[in-house]
Structures are given as structure tokens and as C-alpha cells.
Amino acid sequence: MGSSLLEGIVKSDNFDGLLDVIEPAIQDSSKEDFKKSKVNFYSDIRENKDTINYDLIIVATKPNIYEEIFNGLKNNLIINDKTLIVSILAGIRISKIEEIVGSIPIIRAMPNIASSVLEGMTALIGNKKITDKDILNVDLIFELIGEKIWLKNEAQMDSFTAISGSGPAYFFFFTECLKNIAIEEGFTEDVSNKISQQIIIGSGKLVKDTGIDPRELRENVTSPNGTTEAGLKVLADNKTGLLDKLRQAIIEAKNRSIEISDN
Ligand SMILES: NC(=O)c1ccc[n+]([C@@H]2O[C@H](COP(=O)([O-])OP(=O)(O)OC[C@H]3O[C@@H](n4cnc5c(N)ncnc54)[C@H](OP(=O)(O)O)[C@@H]3O)[C@@H](O)[C@H]2O)c1
């Protein structure tokens, strides 16, 4: 996720600042990818101790080491109420970060995996310390890797995580189910892969390129008494259909998100 953001930022015409990346086991090939950009690589935060007054710090490590990471920032970098911290760590509430670094500007971001192909969906929420300039800068960054929205409150992050963070996996699973059914119907594995993958790619492209509401797209391909209508009768059934199952799935995912954040 961190490299997707870095790629987006260095490719952007809007960015002409200095970028430092701290990553313990950076590959030489990754350094090579950014050779032409103004990016410096460090393997340990202590190499930057008290040297630079960063405007913005993005934290993209695994959430389970958040205490070590934010203590590392606090103890080694110059952090004050003008430093904006952006955390993409799933399940780590802003209050937990404030407990370590103090009451400075903090924005929590929840991108999804499609950010790696610059088609991500990110939700953003900040604490009371953030300024209009912080909002503008963070908008610019997350627009580089897809679409973004600002949440009204941090509690919405759990619903967003269940819908959008986990959303790509729901579509991957749908694709996987289509593939398995194609195999059951007698197609080879290769052909089944091709059919199921092209359906998700083609449908997504139609939604994006035409801008037509998915409901209208669905109605357009559903002729009365046709094959699609027969299939949709099962999928769109009020009681046993997909809507109900998806709702149950999202409630479960949301509850898990709350549970993880409470720990
Ligand atoms: N992937 C997603 O779809 C997604 C969506 C939303 C939010 N997130 C959040 O994004 C974060 C990163 O996820 P990811 O999937 O990109 O995980 P990842 O591939 O494991 O990336 C974590 C990175 O942090 C580096 N790291 C470890 N210790 C560090 C340290 N002390 N200082 C600096 N860097 C350090 C790791 O380096 P090494 O590999 O050398 O250990 C690795 O490059 C997570 O908090 C996750 O909750 C991910």
C-alpha cells in the first residue's frame, strides 16, 4: 500500500517536494524504480533523527506494530502542531495515535487494494487539529490512487471498511464462484478463468466508462422473459437473494472491524 502511494506521488505533476522513505528491508530494485525521482531511502528512522522538519508523514506499516512505529516517530523526528500525520493502519483509531504522539494534526485513511492499480477507494477522517491546507494536501495524495471521500465521523470507518476495504474480496469471490460454476458446466479451467474474469472487467469498465447507474445497466440487459430475467429472479429474491446475504456479510465484517479497533 505504501509503494502504491509512493508511485502515485512521484508520478504526479503536482508534487515537486522532497520525499524520504523509511523501510527496513527495501529492495535495490525498488530503489532503482525511483532513481529519477527525488526520493531518499532509509532503513531506520534513527538515521533521520532530529534532522528534518517534515510537513507530512504517511504511516503504512502493519497495524500490530503501531506503538513501536508512532513512538519511533515521536522520539526521532521533529514533530510539532504543524506536522500532519496520515495513518493508513486498519483498526487503529485516531485517539490511539494521539495517546502516543500527542494532540497534533492526524488523518486516518482507509484505502483499498485497488489503489495498487490507481483505482482505489479511500475514506478519510481527521482530528480537530487538521487545517484546510492539510485537507487539500491529503485530497491531492489520495486522488492519485483513485477516488476519495471524507467521513462525517470516525465511527463510519467501520462500515466503510466492511463495504469498501473488504469490497474487492467480495467481487473476487463472485468471480471465483462464476469460474467454479463454469467448470461444473463443462468448460476447462482456463476457459472458465477467462469467462469469469472478463465478466468482472467488462462490467466494471461499463459502469466506469458509460457513467450509467448499475441498476439501469442491469435493466437494459434484462429482456422480459429472457435468460437474464430468469437468473435474476433467484439472485434478486427479497428474502433469499444476494442483497440479504451481502447485508449479512457486511454486518459481520463491520462487527469484526469494531472488535479489532476496540482491542
Ligand atoms: N492492503 C490493503 O488493501 C490495505 C487496505 C487498507 C489499509 N491497509 C493498511 O495498510 C497498511 C499496510 O498494509 P500492506 O498490505 O501494504 O502491508 P505490507 O505489504 O506488509 O506493508 C507494510 C510495510 O511496512 C514495512 N515496515 C515494517 N516495519 C517497519 C518499520 N519499523 N519502519 C518502516 N516500515 C516498516 C514493511 O517492510 P517489510 O516488508 O520489510 O517488513 C512493509 O513494507 C496496514 O496497516 C493495513 O492495515 C491495507
User: pLDDT at position 72, please?
Assistant: 93
User: pLDDT at position 33, please?
Assistant: 76
Pocket test for ligand 1, best of 61, 86, 93 (most atoms within 8 A of CB): 61
Residues 58 and 146 occupy one common structural domain = yes
Q: How many angstroms separate the CA atoms of 252 and 263, rounded?
A: 17
Residues 149 and 172 occupy one common structural domain = no
The CB density around residue 26, as the number of other CB atoms within 10 Å, is 15
Angle between helices 189-210 and 167-184 in degrees, nearest 10: 140
pTM tops 0.85, yes or no:
yes
Pairing mode of beta strands 106-110, 84-87 = parallel
Q: Whose CA is nearest to atom 24 of ligand 1?
A: 61
Q: Whose CA is nearest to atom 40 of ligand 1?
A: 25
The total of structural domains in the chain comes to 2
Q: Whose CA is nearest to atom 47 of ligand 1?
A: 90
Q: Return per-residue pLDDT of the chain as tens, 263 residues.
A: 888 888 888 877 777 778 899 998 887 777 777 777 788 899 998 887 777 788 999 999 999 999 999 999 999 888 888 899 999 999 999 999 999 999 999 999 999 999 988 899 999 999 999 999 999 999 999 998 899 999 999 999 999 999 999 999 999 999 999 999 999 999 999 999 999 999 999 999 999 999 999 999 999 999 999 999 999 999 999 889 999 999 999 999 999 999 999 98
**d(CA 249, ligand 1 centre) in Å:** 26
Provide the domain limits for residue 185: 167-262
With a CB cutoff of 8 Å and minimum separation 6, the contacts of 182 are 191, 192, 195, 196
C-alpha triplet 198, 120, 4: angle, nearest 5°: 105
Ligand 1 lining (C-beta closer than 6 Å): 1-2, 22-25, 60-63, 69, 88-90, 110-113, 165
Residue 63 alpha carbon, nearest atom of ligand 1 = 45
Phi then psi for residue 243, to 5 deg, are -55, -45
Looking up cell 434484462 gives 222
Do the Cβ atoms of 138 and 97 come closer than 8 Å?
no
User: pLDDT at position 165, please?
Assistant: 95
**CATH number of the domain that 28 lies in?**
3.40.50.720
Q: How many angstroms separate the CA atoms of 76 and 210, rounded?
A: 50
User: pLDDT at position 52, please?
Assistant: 78
Do the Cβ atoms of 116 and 85 come closer than 8 Å?
no
> Is residue 160, in this structure, part of any structural domain at all?
no
> Is residue 162, in this structure, part of any structural domain at all?
no
User: pLDDT at position 10, please?
Assistant: 83
- What mean pLDDT value characterizes the chain? 93
Residues 149 and 183 occupy one common structural domain = no
> Is residue 227, in this structure, part of any structural domain at all?
yes
User: pLDDT at position 36, please?
Assistant: 74
Q: How many angstroms separate the CA atoms of 254 and 161, rounded?
A: 7
Residues 84 and 189 occupy one common structural domain = no
Residues 130 and 220 occupy one common structural domain = no
Residue 1 alpha carbon, nearest atom of ligand 1 = 16
